[in-house]
A and B are shown apart, each in its own frame.
Chain A
Amino acid sequence: MAFPDRIERTIEVAHPPGQVWAALTTAEGLGTWFGNEATVDLRPGGPARMTWANGSTVEMRVERVEEPTVFSFTWPIYGLPEDDPRRTYVEFTLEPAGTGTRLTVVESGFAQLPEDAYRKAYDGNTDGWALELAELVDYLDAA
């Protein structure tokens, strides 16, 4: 399978899980090593945001908060249009390793496709204006 759905990385850091947890889950931590500024509402379903000095922003939704072992969120898929509804799922797992921490990050969901993308990608029929107008209606309904 050459179409990668998930990305996984594991690193060992010489700091205990509690410290790594703080770096991953606090506004101060995320706004230092990842973004230039961050806000985090640390509860499942809570919103979080990172912004960068170049003006870019990413909106996250916190999913799992199991201190100090699992922290996860979803965020938009990098490279897709801003209004694309698809999101990837990012999960950090922290395990004690000696006096430090083994940190694993798994990002999954790159290969997901919404129903309408399947239809549009595989259906060779000419759809013309009828489809465009239907999409406009869907868009207005969703707004």
Chain B
Amino acid sequence: MPPDPVLAEPEAVAEQVFVALADPSRRAILAELASAGPATATDLAARLPITRQAIAKHLALLAEAGLVTAEPGERRRVRYRLRSAPMQVAQQFLAALARDWDGPLSALQDHLDRSTG
């Protein structure tokens, strides 16, 4: 059975998020953009223990995945801004995994046993 296109797309988006987050340098770049706002590759190289060249490579991958967007900054320097939409898609995947029904259902069983015991 072919995958449902509506559901397959979020999965592809979520996968790109998880691939991006699997690398510590990319996590650091995303965290920096999240906490301090849009920045150029040069700004990021000054703030993070990552070379300017490596940062440029990571930013290209992140832009490809739609996790950052390039925008013109001062003096024609390109600034990168975090895009949260793919993160929100990935969050839904995590939400399904994080939902615990086994705990509450076992508490329900205990509750029923106690209230009649």
Contacts and interface: CB of A to CB of B under 8 A. Distances in A.
Interface of A: 1-5, 7, 9, 11, 13-15, 19-20, 23-24, 29, 32-34, 77-80, 84, 86, 88, 103, 105, 107, 110-113, 117-118, 120-122, 124, 126-128
Contact of A33 (B71, B107, B116): B107
Interface stretch (B1-9, B21-29, B39-47, B50-58): B1-9
Interface of B: 3-4, 6-11, 13-14, 66, 69-71, 83-86, 88-89, 91-99, 101-102, 104-105, 107-113, 115-116
A33 B97 contact: no
A121 B89 contact: yes
B111 A23 contact: yes
B10 A33 contact: no
Prevailing SS type, chain B contact patch: helix
Given A13-B109, A111-B7, A113-B92, A120 B116 contact: no
A24 to B, nearest CB: 8
A23 B10 contact: no
Contacts of B98: 78-79
A78 B95 CA distance: 6
Given A13-B112, A15-B116, A120-B85, 18 more contacts: A1-B3, A3-B10, A4-B96, A7-B101, A11-B108, A11-B109, A13-B109, A14-B112, A19-B112, A19-B115, A32-B111, A84-B88, A105-B105, A110-B95, A111-B6, A113-B89, A121-B85, A122-B66
